[in-house]
Chain A
Amino acid sequence: MSGPVPPEQQEPLAEALKTSLLDVLETMAWSAVKLSREEQHSNFMVRGEACGVMRVHGAVTGLIGLATSQYTGKELVSRIVGLSTDMLQPEDITDGLAELANLIGGGMKAKAGISGIHLDPPMAMVGQGILAEWKTEAMTRVITFEVGRDQLRLYANF
């Protein structure tokens, strides 16, 4: 099976993705994360300073993204690798964000209970005022979490 995700699978997938993000951040980054709000958007537009995106294919076709500020992106990577932020090189931040996307996507795969989901290698972007759009036919769920005093957005496009 491939193509758009049937409506009855969208909610379990989004739940699996949310739970996975909470697991990853709490287990590996020791970050207290709180769900703030959820919105539906008609496009997949990632907005932030530190972003990770990965394509999902196979049994489910879509995109997963995460975006936050450079400060929080750096802070999260610093915590998962156990190095202070000033010891991190720019490539550590992009690699770390890509790994975060990978971990969250992998967790979603395991928790969703749908066989045949494949994840492409993730990509990451760091910079000022990034706005990246992928044309898709599906709606995007944008789930905002509070991380400390900052926000982290999770994008689920299935």
Chain B
Amino acid sequence: MRILIVDDSSVMRKIVTRGLRQAGFAIDEILEAGDGQQGLEVLSNQTVDLILSDWNMPNMDGLTFVREARKTIQTPIVMVTTEGGEGKVNEAIASGANGHIKKPFTPDTLKDTLGKYFA
């Protein structure tokens, strides 16, 4: 599995990476991007199996990133964010996101939400 983590915080990218490894997922490679624009650049020349994206980011936010990505790829995209309200989650799903993980999360939360993508 190749995973793309899109988050403007390098610390949060490390936290997600650590959580994925602690959840026991078989991961071949983790790619990182600091905002939605960089995420699209990564996707323009690399193939990934799963995308985890923050919501609030400079340059291009997570929602715009999802909408733009959906014009060319159908890779599962899961939002990882503090934006946990029902309205926000519905907006993300309507824009093409496949799911949502609320921060803070535990490796078990990642396992429960993302397990189906690793099956």
Q: How large is the interface on B (under 10, 10 to 19, 20 to 34, 35 or more residues)?
A: 10 to 19
A-facing residues in B88-109 (Cβ within 8 Å):
102-106
Shortest C-beta distance, A32 to chain B (Å), equals: 16
A41-49, A104-112, A130-138: which one contacts chain B? A104-112
Residues A99 and B84 in contact, CB atoms below 8 Å apart: no
Shortest C-beta distance, B57 to chain A (Å), equals: 9
Residues A107 and B104 in contact, CB atoms below 8 Å apart: yes
Residues A27 and B104 in contact, CB atoms below 8 Å apart: yes
Contacts of B83 in A (CB 8 A): 106
Across chains A and B, the number of contacting residue pairs, with CB separation under 8 Å, is 56
B8-16, B23-31, B41-49, B66-74: which one contacts chain A? B8-16
How distant is the Cα of A85 from the Cα of B85 in the complex, in angstroms? 34
Residues A92 and B106 in contact, CB atoms below 8 Å apart: no
Interface residue SS majority, chain A:
helix
How distant is the Cα of A82 from the Cα of B9 in the complex, in angstroms? 15
The chain B residue sitting closest to A23, CB to CB, is B104
Shortest C-beta distance, A142 to chain B (Å), equals: 23
Asked if A62 is at the interface (CB within 8 A of a chain B CB), the reply is no
With A77-B11, A95-B10, A121-B56 already in contact, the answer to whether A24 and B104 are too (CB < 8 A) is yes
Contacts of A77 in B (CB 8 A): 11
Chain B residues in the interface with A (C-beta under 8 A) = 9-12, 14-15, 18, 56, 81-85, 102-106
Q: Contacts A28-B104, A80-B15, A121-B56 given; 7 further ones with Cβ under 8 A? A: A23-B104, A24-B104, A92-B10, A95-B9, A103-B103, A106-B81, A109-B84
